[in-house]
Amino acid sequence: MNYGTQHQLQGKWEPLPREKKNDLEVRKHGLEEKNLVVKEEHQQSEIKMNNLKILCKLNEINHKAACEVILLMKERIINNWKNCYT
């Protein structure tokens, strides 16, 4: 816990500046926006995953190279999810 600045060493005591209420509100607003972006990215990723599942079930994609691309996309989506929540 900081009680003052380096002026204490010189015999003077100055309280540390505290964050203003507006600064806290700005930080809170920034976190809310970040959470909304993460939520939107998560929803978009879920839509992509569902689309890939539908394509695979319909057997519209049965080419080996296409399946490798799908697996790569799934891996990227899952890694993106993990990065958002760590």
Report helix, strand or coil for 4: coil
Q: How deeply is 73 buried, as exposed, middle or buried, from its count of CB atoms within 10 A (0-12, 13-18, 19+)?
A: middle
Backbone angles phi, psi at 31, to 5 degrees: -65, -40
* Domain limits for position 78: 32-86
Rounded average pLDDT over 41-70: 74
pTM for this entry: 0.42
- Per-residue pLDDT at 62: 62
Backbone angles phi, psi at 17, to 5 degrees: -65, 135
Residue 62 lies in a domain: yes
- Per-residue pLDDT at 32: 83
pLDDT at 39 over 60: yes
Cα separation, 63 vs 42, whole angstroms: 28
Residue 18 lies in a domain: no
Residue 3 lies in a domain: no
- Quick check: 38 and 81 in contact, CB under 8 A? no
Residue 14 lies in a domain: no
Rounded average pLDDT over 23-39: 77
pLDDT at 27 over 80: no
Report how many domains make up the chain.
1
pLDDT at 73 over 70: yes
Can you give the length of the chain in residues?
86
